[in-house]
Amino acid sequence: MAEAEGRRYPFKGIEEIDRDVLETFPYEHPEREAVVTIETEEFSAVCPYSGLPDSGMLRIAYVPSDRCVELKSFKYYLVSFRDVGIYQEHAAAVIFEDLQALLAPRWIRLELDYRVRGGIRTVVTLEKGERPVAWGPPGR
């Protein structure tokens, strides 16, 4: 429970993020530099300062090494953020770090583009590894 601007809004701590639900499956073509892209417009969490909901577009692209994330498990993982009080920058970093630990991809890029609230748009981008040729130059 947090108190913001004289009001009390219940939300959970980051320990409630359900990493255990994440599953993978073997990538059968590790010799190929395939870019796997995942997008959702339904990412949501709670601002720990105001207690108000935040939502945005989450885009992930990665080149698998030997495994891929199973999408239903990834959806359940993302749903576990809904009631968690976490700053936008931290949400992006947590997802990025969890996917790196789960997949050990050759390359990964995450972009979390939050909806405008109060006239301010926030976009958090993280990237690690050698950018694949198929993905193109930086800035894409």
Q: What is the pLDDT of residue 104?
A: 97
DSSP state of 16: G
Half-sphere exposure of 73 (CA within 13 A, CB side): 13
Query: Which residue in the list 18, 47, 66, 68 is annotated as catalytic?
Result: 47
Q: What is the pLDDT of residue 7?
A: 67
Q: What is the pLDDT of residue 5?
A: 59
The contacts of residue 112 (CB under 8 Å, 6+ apart) are 43, 56, 57, 58, 59, 88, 91, 92, 95, 123, 124, 125
Query: Which residue in the list 54, 68, 83, 98 is annotated as catalytic?
Result: 54
Residue 54 annotated as catalytic = yes
Report whether CATH 3.90.950.20 matches the domain 24-131. Answer: no
Give the pLDDT confidence of 29-63 residue by residue, as tens digits. Answer: 988 889 999 999 999 999 888 788 899 999 999 99
Q: What is the pLDDT of residue 4?
A: 52
Give me the DSSP letters along 62-109: EE-SSEEE-HHHHHHHHHTTTTBB--HHHHHHHHHHHHHHHH--SEEE
The segments of the chain whose pLDDT lies below 70 read 1-8, 136-140
Task: List the chain domain ranges.
Answer: 24-131
